[in-house]
Amino acid sequence: MSMITEPPVTTGPSRSTAEQSTAGVRGQQRSGAGEVVRAYVSLTKPRIVELLLVTTIPTMMLAADGLPSLWLMAVVLVGGALAAGGASALNCYIDRDIDQLMRRTKRRPLPTHVVAPRSALIFGLVLAGVSVALMAAFTNWLATILTIASIAYYDLVYTLWLKRTTAQNTFWGGICGAAPVLIGWAAVTGSLSPAAWALFALVFFWQLPHFYALAIKYKVDYARAGIPMLPVVASVRRVNLEIVAYTWLTVFASLVAWPLGLSPIYGVTAVVAGAVFLVEAHRLARRSARGEAIKPMRLFHWANTYLTILFAVIALDALI
Number of H helices, E strands in the chain: 14, 0
Structural domain boundaries of the chain?
Answer: 41-319
Whole-angstrom distance, CA of residue 152 vs CA of residue 159: 10
Q: What mean pLDDT is reported for the chain?
A: 88
Mean pLDDT of 71-98: 94
Within a 10 A sphere around the Cβ of 95, how many other Cβ atoms?
21
Supply the pLDDT for residue 291.
Answer: 79
| CATH number for domain 41-319, candidates 1.10.260, 1.10.600, 1.10.3470, 2.40.50 | 1.10.600
pLDDT(216) > 80: yes
Report pLDDT digits (tens) over 231-274: 999 988 999 999 999 999 999 999 999 999 999 999 999 999 99
> Which pLDDT band, with edges at 50, 70 and 90, does 3 fall under?
very low
Mean pLDDT of 55-67: 95
pLDDT(174) > 70: yes
Question: Taking CA 165 as the corner, what is the angle to CA 101 and CA 284, rounded to the nearest 5 degrees?
Answer: 75
With contact defined as beta carbons under 8 Å apart, do 151 and 94 qualify? no
Mean pLDDT of 45-57: 84
pLDDT(5) > 70: no
Residue 80 CA, distance from chain mean position: 12
Report pLDDT digits (tens) over 289-310: 887 878 899 999 999 999 999 9
pLDDT(183) > 90: yes
Mean pLDDT of 69-93: 95
> Which pLDDT band, with edges at 50, 70 and 90, does 320 fall under?
confident
